[in-house]
Amino acid sequence: MTTLICDCNQTMPLDARSLSANLNDTLTLHSSLCRREAAEFLKAAGSGEDLVVACTQEVRLFGELAEQANSTATIKFVNIRETGGWSRDAAKSSHKIAALLAAAHLPEPDPVATVTYKSAGRALIIGALGAAEQAAELLGEAVDVTLFTQGAGEQGAAQERRYPVLGGQIQTLTGWLGAFELTWQPTNPIDLDLCTRCNACLAVCPEDAIGLDYQIDLSACKSHRACVKVCKVAGAIDFNRSPQSQTDTFDLVLDLRATAAFSQHAKPQGYLHWDGRDLKALLQWRELVGEFDKPKFFSYRQKLCAHSRNEKEGCTACIDVCSASAISSDRHHQQIKVNPNLCVGCGTCSTVCPTGAMSFVYPRASDQGVKFKTLLSTYLRSGGKAPALLLHSQGQGAQLLCDLGRAAQLEKAQKTGTHGVPARVLPVPLWHTSSTGLEVWLTAVAYGASQVWVLLTDEEAPQYATALAEQMSVAQAVLTGLGYAGEHFKLLRVRDARDLAELDRALQTAPAQAPAHHASFAVQADKRATLELALDHLVAHAPHPVAERIALPARGAPLGALAINQDACTLCLSCVNACPASALTDNAAAPQLRFIEKNCVQCGLCVKTCPEIALSLVPQLSLLPQRKEAVVLHEMQPYACVRCGKPFGTLKGIEVMLGKLAGHSMFQGEALERLKMCGDCRVIDIYSADNEIKITDIKS
């Protein structure tokens, strides 16, 4: 793979020799690769070898040049200018630039399954009839429009009827691109399909109850029925028509109402809630005609899911955080279900999932781990100190960093005081900023990262910030408890360019403490395995742990222990059957309840299942070796059968049962005594008793 670097008209102090040494490659420094030295790009593109171009400003131009050269090379573009070359630390950014270029050399992740949408362009516009007709005019012939009137609006309908019009009460609107379903009930005497807009009904109505949406205001109508008479030929008006629900399907929905039809933050693909101002959004929506593929962003393993057991609901983290309403509870199958057509690929469900049942695959955690390791190892190997990872979105987040870099470049002339992105901060663009969490962040620290920061903009749903903050509080509690000094995790919330000064100040934060020895393990496909590897390394190289157990925040903690009230517990072991993570086990040789803290995901299913309410969750990280071993939470003396002496239950369990049933009319005398027998002896005693009445002895 060939790497082309350019100092952009000598505005960046790039050291080609140092970069060549750090990347184990021979790099040639250019100053005008997109203009006077474009021949060098054409030469490299024409060689057929894949390219890394250290410039994102001229992506379009380079693409056109490669097309003219009939190049078959794969070209990756890396921003080193605004993220490193244009800052007060530019002279010290060689280590960072080497890391960014090294990460760009990584192979593309394996392809994932796709979800297909098919849209024929049948569009529904909901709103005041005049405004809906104007919106339809803007769309032109690109889509096949049907209008659903919400009143006449300020303009009223045009005289010429160019589009089909529906009216009535909307009952439901569901679906996604290519598969929207509208159910409504006509509630007006005027059938808009039959109406010719002759205006005769408006002219004769004495109450002016008919508007330019050609619907009757029934609260103003006094039943003169003059409108029925003048509409006799068309037959569009019938006050005796019985309302019946109707259903129709559409590929696209444009909603002009003040309140959107969908309340979730991430609306379904193909639905646009439009305020009439953002023409770019309308034009993009108009282009959604044809067949489209998107990645299937998630992978779900029901076996690991801690959502439900024995009709008890446990973890609902993914359902609660989903901004697209794509995840719901499937109570019949005791699991969750995900609608891939509604999923927008934020990955937050995998971030908050304590077991790894839900995983994000675009990219996979293992691919993300390779990228983080490459960035950090290259930076540290080349002499960099205290690296901080700055995770940001590929859209708004990347644009804000570009704005910050330009502000830093203009600082000398305009005296803005802007520093730009520091040399130790490594920007990492993500498909979505909430797609990584606790186990990946701790792994990054184990790799040598001083800090992990997440840049949030208005793109993200509010619940994403809450979920990330909870994850960060858990991760920080772990590191603080292990004695690592400083603040390692932080959310940087920026709305737009107006907050660049605040972002600039936040990026100047002093480094936090990282492990003295850097880990070499790889991020695993199994989330819990990755978390354990990271914890093992961080614990092994901890400066000075403050205690044998580190208390963790109650919300968001996927680690912890169980507290048991031994006086209440009867050792029924229903909690063992409910545990989805094999954290609770029994002992075939003795009445014992055993617990493996390492496996516990704090889902709470055991707590909700326990009939004696004897269990409670304890969010914590134990630093004792016993955390990975099965320890006895509770044990009891076995109860021996009064007839054969074989143990068949626990002493306390049988005593509780005898106490509860002693007053029951069905368990008196010998019947109560049989409760003290094992199953075999109980049957023998029933059939050998002389005073038992058998059903065969009953005569009519």
Question: What is the secondary structure of 508-554 as a DSSP string?
Answer: TPPPPP--SS---PPPPSSHHHHHHHHHHHHHHT-S--S-SEEE--S
pLDDT of 700 higher than 60: no
In what helix (H) or strand (E) does residue 657 lie, and over which residues does it extend?
helix 651-661
In what helix (H) or strand (E) does residue 428 lie, and over which residues does it extend?
strand 425-430
Rg (CA), the chain: 34
Percent of the chain with pLDDT over 90: 79
Is 653 in contact with 572 (CB distance < 8 Å)?
Answer: yes
461-483 residue pLDDT tens:
999 999 999 999 999 999 999 99
For residue 653, what pLDDT is reported?
A: 80
Dist CA 11 CA 90 (whole Å): 10
472-527 residue pLDDT tens:
999 999 999 999 999 999 999 998 888 999 999 999 999 999 999 999 999 999 99
What are 250's strand-pairing partners? 180
pLDDT of 693 higher than 80: no
Is 147 in contact with 165 (CB distance < 8 Å)?
Answer: yes
Tokens found for residue 82: 């605004």
Is 317 in contact with 350 (CB distance < 8 Å)?
Answer: no
The helix/strand/coil state of 647 is strand
Query: How many residues in the chain?
Result: 700
Q: Which fold has domain 559-635?
A: Alpha-Beta Plaits (3.30.70)
Q: Where in the chain is the domain with CATH 3.30.70.20?
A: 296-360
Dist CA 597 CA 626 (whole Å): 8
What are 430's strand-pairing partners? 393
Label residue 691 by pLDDT band (50, 70, 90): low
Q: Which fold has domain 296-360?
A: Alpha-Beta Plaits (3.30.70)
Label residue 697 by pLDDT band (50, 70, 90): low
Dist CA 461 CA 457 (whole Å): 9
Q: Where in the chain is the domain with CATH 3.40.50?
A: 366-546
* pLDDT, averaged across the chain: 93
For residue 547, what pLDDT is reported?
A: 84
227-261 residue pLDDT tens:
999 999 999 999 998 888 999 999 999 999 999 99
Please give the average per-residue pLDDT across 109-114, as a whole number.
Answer: 91
What are 181's strand-pairing partners? 174, 249
- pTM for this structure? 0.89
For residue 672, what pLDDT is reported?
A: 84
Q: Where in the chain is the domain with CATH 3.30.70.3270?
A: 559-635
428-465 residue pLDDT tens:
999 999 999 999 999 999 999 999 999 999 889 999 99
Is 190 in contact with 208 (CB distance < 8 Å)?
Answer: no
Tokens found for residue 618: 């304890």
pLDDT of 695 higher than 60: no
Cis peptide before 511 (omega within 30 of 0): no
For residue 699, what pLDDT is reported?
A: 59
- List all residues 6 or more positions away from 519 whose beta carbon is below 8 Å from its beta carbon: 443, 446, 447, 533, 534, 537
Please give the average per-residue pLDDT across 10-23, as a whole number.
Answer: 94
Select the CATH number that applies to the domain covering 366-546 from these four: 3.40.50, 1.20.120, 1.10.20, 3.30.450: 3.40.50
Dist CA 142 CA 251 (whole Å): 13
The domain defined by 117-290 carries CATH number 3.50.50: yes
- CB contact burial 326-351 (16+ within 10 A = b; e otherwise): bbeeeeeebbbebebbbbbbbbbbbb
In what helix (H) or strand (E) does residue 189 lie, and over which residues does it extend?
none
pLDDT of 418 higher than 80: yes
What are 290's strand-pairing partners? 119
Is 186 in contact with 246 (CB distance < 8 Å)?
Answer: yes
Q: Between 126 and 672, whose confidence is greater?
A: 126
307-320 residue pLDDT tens:
998 889 999 999 99
- CB contact burial 147-177 (16+ within 10 A = b; e otherwise): bbbbbbbeebbeeeeebebbbbebeebebbb
Please give the average per-residue pLDDT across 276-292, as a whole number.
Answer: 94
633-690 residue pLDDT tens:
999 888 889 889 888 878 778 888 888 888 888 888 788 888 889 888 988 888 887 7
Is 523 in contact with 368 (CB distance < 8 Å)?
Answer: yes
What are 453's strand-pairing partners? 390, 490
Is 85 in contact with 8 (CB distance < 8 Å)?
Answer: yes
Percent of the chain with pLDDT over 70: 98
Q: Where in the chain is the domain with CATH 3.50.50?
A: 117-290
Is 622 in contact with 549 (CB distance < 8 Å)?
Answer: yes
For residue 411, what pLDDT is reported?
A: 81
Is 348 in contact with 617 (CB distance < 8 Å)?
Answer: no
pLDDT of 66 higher than 90: yes
Dist CA 136 CA 130 (whole Å): 10
542-594 residue pLDDT tens:
998 778 999 999 999 999 999 999 999 988 899 999 999 999 999 988 889 99
pLDDT of 529 higher than 80: yes
Label residue 692 by pLDDT band (50, 70, 90): low
Please give the average per-residue pLDDT across 320-332, as a whole number.
Answer: 93
